[in-house]
Amino acid sequence: MSARRIAFVLGAASAIASGWYFFVYLTRWEWNRAIVSGLIFLAAEIALVGGVVLERLGRVGRELAATRRPEPRPELLARVREAAPPSRSPFAWLDPDDGRLGVFVPVLLGAGVIVSAVAWVVERVARATARPSLERGLALRLGSLALPEDGLVPEAEPADPLGLLAPEIPR
């Protein structure tokens, strides 16, 4: 028995067993176990379907390979190759034998240095001009979190604000 057949038999056995336990757990009202066995059943079913589909695709591929067209006649192939345009090198400027690469690399490095310098200047200018504005905005946003100007505990008020207590008599 081939490994493919053994895998198919084991997958079918897993699907049958997990499907059986799925219904057993449902009749016993054991929902968590039913969910787990249902997921195992779904995974086994997907594996079986995937195996069958891949096997059929392989069979179709083998049939197509068996029915390929014969090789073209050599004189026709030679005629087509004669009429073909000359091939081009897509990155001819990178060819080290051409000599143009010696100019390209320093230009590229110089452009990188210039772009880095411009980025450094832009960052310094942004830092110098943005800081006061950012600090002012931060102070405005933090104003609602600041302590009250008179503090958390108000200053001592008179003990009898309504005058309900007897006034003190001087002696």
- Regarding whether 115 and 62 lie in a shared domain, the answer is no
Task: Kindly state whether residue 28 falls inside one of the protein's structural domains.
Answer: yes
DSSP state of 152: S
pLDDT tens-digit map of 57-98: 999 988 888 787 777 788 888 888 888 888 777 766 666 676
Of the pLDDT bands very low, low, confident and very high (cuts 50, 70, 90), residue 44 is very high
Confidence (pTM): 0.38
Average of pLDDT values for 126-152?
A: 78
State which H helix or E strand residue 11 sits in.
Answer: helix 3-27
Quote the pLDDT of residue 158.
60
3-class DSSP assignment, residue 167: coil
Closest CA to 8 of 49, 38, 41, 40: 49
Total structural domains within the chain: 2
3-class DSSP assignment, residue 14: helix
For residue 20, the enclosing domain spans 3-66
- Regarding whether 105 and 62 lie in a shared domain, the answer is no
